[in-house]
Structure 1
Amino acid sequence: MMETKLISSVQNPLVKKILLLKEKSRERKTSGLFVVEGQRELELAQKGGYSLDTFLYCPDILDLSKIRAFLKNPKAETIQITKPVYEKMAHRGTTEGVLGILKAKDHGLDKIHFKNKEPLVLVAEAPEKPGNIGALLRTADAAAVDAVLIANPKSDLYNPNIVRSSVGCVFTNQIGMGSTQDIIHFLKKNHIKIYCAALTASKNYVDCDLTGATAIVMGTEATGLTDVWLKSSDQNLIIPMQGEIDSMNVSVSAAILIFEAKRQRGF
């Protein structure tokens, strides 16, 4: 039988710790821990090599027999919680009654390794909105890109809104983080051509050869890419607009460019 202890009070120290981990980026960075809720997200995190430290479940919502199916780490502390405690900690009321505390990964560029000789990389410079970051990670997963690199990150990668909006794809992608200069150096060192999404000095994206080692670089919707990226670009790309506006949501634009690269590669 699975040995568990029970938490029935919302004033329990662990409940307060979990709330802090969810609400405070500093707490996540200091402790090296973060919180995930939902069966699919916990499954993807463990599949992605994340270590589950503590597992909490509400038997009023989820049957114990189903818990064993996706609890991959037998050494994780397992805690039963009452429904009021779960509702205090959970952001969504329909996340199947499970929460996990997991250990964060090191996302240094030196941890990025490519299996493909001609990798396809998505780069996002200074993305701020968790929803956009989550959408970019979903796109990257859908296209099975070789890595996602975040330059000058403005948001904590383990922000619950990023985990939620990415539907767990924050765990399925190989993600590196660093300064713009460090990422440009990394790309050039690995002989990866830089294709910047930009309005000036650009070619229609369908006229660009994206079959080699390629990095597609996206800027913010408000200001686009900084000059250092544009000066380092091998070729700027543009998606021609046919209406009145001159750009689209960054995740939509990234999806169009990434899947054009995949099309050219025969996928």
Structure 2
Amino acid sequence: MSEIKQITSLQNTLVREILVLKEKSRERRKKGLFVLEGRRELQLALKGGYEVVTLLYCPEIMPAKDILEMKRILNDGTTLIELSPKVYQKLAYRATTEGLIAVSKTKDHSLTNLALKNRNPLILVAEAPEKPGNIGALLRTADAANLDAVFIANAKGDIYNPNIIRSSVGCIFTNSIAMGSTSDIISYLKEHDISIFCAALTASKNYTNIDYTKGSAIVVGTESTGLTYDWLENSDQNIVIPMQGEIDSMNVSVSAAILIFEAKRQRDFSTPNAI
């Protein structure tokens, strides 16, 4: 690992480059880099096989013992940079800060790079999700359920948006994520003999009356418009969560969690050693 550098000026070129990376999705795509913040997020990124290019930390905020621990888990090619408190506060995204920021290489999330290890995978598909908070919550649910993959169809934005990383509490790094068009993802699911269960109000069955123990994809759309025609046309069965109040829908991440954990319940119950 190279000698530690120091940055004390807000006008430093790297400081400006990091600010642009945080704010501009086009710049993240162009350079294949993104910014993450926090020890837990960094640890999860490294565990998920991400290549950290630069680690920036503020010694006035981050204890020396923690800095040493970070150095031990980073690869030899990572550049270490000390930041003055003023520079760190300029770069930090969070109000409550831990003193650590990293720049990492992105991954290729195309369908061709996805390798499903389970013969009967359980997959979450989210079509055109827009709100970073919802995407982050979906990724947290996927991690909690240990899903085989998360597919994002017709993505409206950049998966490495700092708001998504923050709201997912690092679960963007713990999930197998693939992105593609609706038509490409439908073709992938059919080619791999994965049943498509679409959350929809029309022609639906109660979600508890469906068998999810085989290869299954639970598909959710936006709260405002739901799923597009292509999904409904190719659905093996539409599913619905019965509503008992005045409204006919819930937050997409809440709905997805209910559907996913029903599928998990069935799969756990169907295993030979289930109690």
What range is the shorter-chain TM-score in? over 0.9
Q: How does 1:98-117 map to 2 (within 5 A)?
A: 98-117=100-119
* Secondary structure class of the residue paired with 2:189: helix
1:74 aligned partner: 76
CA contact (8 A) 1:55 1:78 kept: yes
* Secondary structure class of the residue paired with 1:87: helix
Q: How many aligned residue pairs are there?
A: 267
CA contact (8 A) 1:125 1:150 kept: yes
Q: How does 1:127-138 map to 2 (within 5 A)?
A: 127-138=129-140
1:175 aligned partner: 177
Q: Which amino acid aligns with 1:23?
A: E
1:41 aligned partner: 41
Q: Which amino acid aligns with 1:240?
A: P
Q: Which amino acid aligns with 2:29?
A: K
Unaligned runs of 5+ in 1: none
1:246 aligned partner: 248
1:194 equivalent in alignment to 2:196? yes
CA contact (8 A) 1:39 1:95 kept: no
| Alpha-carbon offset, residue 111 of structure 1 | 1.0
Query: How far, CA to CA, are the matches of 1:208 and 1:256 in structure 2?
Result: 13
Q: Which amino acid aligns with 2:148?
A: D
Q: Which amino acid aligns with 2:181?
A: S
| TM-score in terms of structure 1 length | 0.98
Query: How far, CA to CA, are the matches of 2:96 and 2:65 in structure 1?
Result: 19
Query: How far, CA to CA, are the matches of 2:69 and 2:189 in structure 1?
Result: 40
Q: Which residue of 219, 236, 239 maps to 1:237?
A: 239
Query: How far, CA to CA, are the matches of 1:64 and 1:156 in structure 2?
Result: 34
| Alpha-carbon offset, residue 117 of structure 1 | 1.0
Unaligned runs of 5+ in 2: 270-275
Query: How far, CA to CA, are the matches of 1:172 and 1:75 in structure 2?
Result: 23
| TM-score in terms of structure 2 length | 0.95
Query: How far, CA to CA, are the matches of 1:61 and 1:54 in structure 2?
Result: 18
Q: How does 1:85-100 map to 2 (within 5 A)?
A: 85-100=87-102
Displacement over 2 Å in runs of 4+ = none
Q: Which amino acid aligns with 1:11?
A: Q
CA contact (8 A) 2:213 2:267 kept: yes
| Alpha-carbon offset, residue 2 of structure 1 | 7.3
